[in-house]
């Protein structure tokens, strides 16, 4: 008997866990019947820049046409912004789009990708979907241990993916630590440095007198085995439009461009990203709100006896004595969607996006209301 298509699905695909997204606001509203604030996916709580919305309206008239496959205008603007040649920038449908290209280009069966445990779940998915092996190293104090990662490199390692800051723990390593690490990585391994939260991390690092990253300097110096990922989904407020980019060696990007799905950045997305990039006031307002919100949330959680990990991103991570999924459900019933981290293998881990001051207060009062009384400190 010949096998059916279903029976022929490869084992590594059957074993995939699939992405578990933050709950959509409409779905949560349907479930809980109350107006919702979403603090589950690290989006910009102020929405997109009004200039981006205007650009989206203008670009809507051209959606009968295929977009510019290279998103040339945006690519040039980003190259100028980072002091790079246009050939050192590749755009795709989110940084997830670029990660997918990296995996399909370099991660064939028999090869491996190294990252840390408790990091972004998409790294697992793209690696395993490509049939490659994922190796995760342990964290130290909720942060990437770069020494363990470099010690795990062997002949079949093809890619290392580092989230800086990390999602979900919010911790970062500074430019000096990364530069030392990069020197130890052999030429047969591509380092993918995912800087999705760079705008926020820069502001936290400056507060602590640290240099966040010299990643673009390495790209400028034509480093051959480094790819830096950035996105318009976070500080720029365009998560729903899917625009991200990779900066790296032109030859590497040339191969990636062949693998990328054609037209993966729409004309509407390109126009919005260009406008968002220019609206520096919107980004700096977002970053300032985030710095203040981080302090406020961490302090107020601490008053409730909850120790949150100091963050360098636009979210806060903490662990509870209760099951996180059950706690998130109760908080959702109070009108706030947060992210329980069971899918990351952290059954007592919670990640909450830093919102506007009103949203943060709403989250805190929900926590106060639903947390088991025994967990709250005695008055
Ligand atoms: C570390 C990290 N990288 C990448 C992404 C996804 O970015 P994009 O929307 O550009 O695909 C996220 C989103 O949560 C993230 O946390």
How do residues 62-94 score in pLDDT, each as one tens digit? 999 999 999 999 999 999 999 999 999 999 999
Of 260, 279, 298, the one marking the end of a domain is 279
Number of residues that this document lists for the chain: 379
Residue 359 Cα to ligand 1 middle (Å): 22
What's the pLDDT band for 373 if we cut at 50, 70, 90?
low
Cis omega before residue 221 (within 30°)?
Answer: no
Q: What is the mean pLDDT of the chain?
A: 95
**17 pLDDT exceeds 90?**
no
End-to-end Cα distance, the chain:
71
What is the mean predicted confidence (pLDDT) over 95-107?
Answer: 98
Of 245, 279, 313, the one marking the end of a domain is 279
CATH code, domain with 127: 3.40.640.10
Of 249, 279, 309, the one marking the end of a domain is 279
Ligand 1 pocket residue status of 167, Cβ below 6 Å = yes
> Tokens 């760079």 — which residue?
198
Q: What is the pLDDT of residue 20?
A: 80
Ligand 1 pocket residue status of 94, Cβ below 6 Å = yes
Q: What is the pLDDT of residue 18?
A: 80
CA distance 225 to 192: 8
Q: Whose CA is nearest to atom 16 of ligand 1?
A: 167
User: Counting atoms of ligand 1 from 1, which one is nearest the CA of 96?
Assistant: 11
CATH code, domain with 34: 3.90.1150.10
**122 pLDDT exceeds 60?**
yes
Ligand 1 pocket residue status of 198, Cβ below 6 Å = no
Ligand 1 pocket residue status of 95, Cβ below 6 Å = yes
Residues 355 and 209 in one domain: no
Give percent above pLDDT 70 in the chain: 98
Ligand 1 pocket residue status of 144, Cβ below 6 Å = no
Give SS3 for 285: helix
Residues 197 and 107 in one domain: yes
What's the pLDDT band for 379 if we cut at 50, 70, 90?
very low
pLDDT tens by residue, 170-195: 999 999 999 999 999 999 999 999 99
| CB contact set of 282 (below 8 Å; sequence gap of 6+) | 46, 49, 50, 51, 237, 276
Q: What is the pLDDT of residue 152?
A: 98
Predicted TM-score (pTM) of the model is 0.96
What is the mean predicted confidence (pLDDT) over 246-255?
Answer: 98
Q: What is the DSSP string of 155-190?
A: TTEEEEEEESS-TTT-----HHHHHHHHHHS-TTSE
Residues 125 and 169 in one domain: yes
Angle, helix 267-278 to helix 72-82, in steps of 10 degrees = 30
Q: What is the pLDDT of residue 129?
A: 96
| Domain housing 371 | 5-47+281-375
Ligand 1 pocket residue status of 163, Cβ below 6 Å = yes
Ligand 1 pocket residue status of 335, Cβ below 6 Å = no
Residue 96 Cα to ligand 1 middle (Å): 6
| Residue 211 token pair | 């240099």
What's the pLDDT band for 19 if we cut at 50, 70, 90?
confident
Residues 256 and 307 in one domain: no
User: Counting atoms of ligand 1 from 1, which one is nearest the CA of 242?
Assistant: 9
Residues 275 and 194 in one domain: yes
pLDDT tens by residue, 276-317: 999 999 999 999 999 999 999 999 999 999 999 999 999 999
**376 pLDDT exceeds 60?**
no
Residue 351 Cα to ligand 1 middle (Å): 14
Q: Which residues pair with 194 in a beta bridge?
A: 163, 229
Give SS3 for 229: strand
Ligand 1 pocket residue status of 160, Cβ below 6 Å = no
Q: Number of H helices and number of E strands within the chain?
A: 16, 13
Looking at per-residue pLDDT, the higher value among 24 and 170 belongs to 170
Q: What is the pLDDT of residue 372?
A: 64
Residues 83 and 228 in one domain: yes
Q: What is the pLDDT of residue 81?
A: 98
What's the pLDDT band for 258 if we cut at 50, 70, 90?
very high
Residues 289 and 216 in one domain: no
Q: Which residues pair with 134 in a beta bridge?
A: 113
Residues 161 and 242 in one domain: yes
Residues 103 and 241 in one domain: yes
| CB contact set of 372 (below 8 Å; sequence gap of 6+) | 321, 322
Residues 167 and 226 in one domain: yes
**244 pLDDT exceeds 70?**
yes
Ligand 1 pocket residue status of 231, Cβ below 6 Å = yes
Contact 279, 273 (CB under 8 A): no
What is the mean predicted confidence (pLDDT) over 262-282?
Answer: 98
Lowest-confidence region among 95-104, 266-275, 286-295, 365-374: 365-374
Contact 335, 23 (CB under 8 A): no
Residues 98 and 42 in one domain: no
What's the domain count of the chain? Answer: 2
Residues 60 and 138 in one domain: yes
**374 pLDDT exceeds 60?**
no
Give percent above pLDDT 90 in the chain: 91
Contact 332, 23 (CB under 8 A): yes
User: Counting atoms of ligand 1 from 1, which one is nearest the CA of 165?
Assistant: 1
């Amino acid at each position: 008997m010949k096998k059916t298509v279903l029976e022929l699905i490869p084992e590594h695909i059957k074993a995939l866990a699939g992405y578990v997204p933050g709950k959509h606001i409409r779905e949560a509203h349907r479930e809980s019947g109350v107006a919702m604030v979403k603090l589950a996916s690290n989006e910009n709580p102020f929405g997109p820049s009004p200039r981006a919305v205007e650009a989206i309206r203008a670009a809507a008239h051209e959606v009968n046409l295929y977009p510019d496959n290279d998103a040339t205008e945006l690519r040039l603007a980003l190259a100028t912004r980072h002091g790079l040649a246009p050939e050192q920038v590749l755009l795709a449908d989110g940084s997830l789009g670029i990660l997918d290209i990296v995996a399909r280009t370099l991660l064939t069966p028999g090869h491996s990708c190294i990252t840390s445990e408790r990091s972004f779940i998409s790294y697992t998915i793209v690696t395993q979907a490509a049939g490659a092996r994922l190796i995760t190293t342990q964290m130290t104090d909720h942060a990437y241990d770069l020494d363990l990662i470099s010690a795990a490199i062997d002949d079949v390692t093809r890619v290392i993916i580092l989230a800086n800051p990390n999602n979900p723990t919010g911790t970062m390593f500074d430019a000096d630590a990364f530069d030392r690490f990069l020197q130890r990585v052999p030429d047969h391994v591509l380092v993918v440095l995912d800087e999705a939260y760079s705008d926020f991390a820069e502001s936290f690092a400056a507060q602590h007198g640290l240099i966040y990253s010299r990643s673009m300097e390495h790209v400028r110096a034509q480093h051959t085995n480094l790819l830096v990922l950035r996105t318009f989904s976070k500080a720029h407020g365009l998560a729903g439009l899917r625009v991200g980019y990779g900066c790296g060696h032109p030859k590497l990007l040339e191969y990636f461009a062949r693998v990328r799905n054609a037209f993966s950045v729409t004309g509407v997305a390109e126009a919005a990203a260009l406008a968002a990039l220019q609206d520096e006031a919107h980004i700096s307002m977002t970053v300032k709100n985030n710095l203040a919100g981080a302090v406020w949330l961490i302090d107020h959680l601490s008053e409730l006896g909850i120790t949150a990990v100091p963050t360098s991103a636009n979210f806060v991570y903490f662990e509870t004595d209760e099951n996180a999924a059950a706690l998130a459900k109760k908080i959702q019933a109070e009108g706030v969607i947060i992210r329980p981290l069971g899918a990351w293998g952290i059954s007592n881990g919670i990640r909450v996006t830093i919102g506007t001051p009103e949203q943060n207060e709403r989250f805190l009062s929900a926590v106060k209301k639903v947390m088991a009384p025994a967990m709250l400190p005695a008055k």
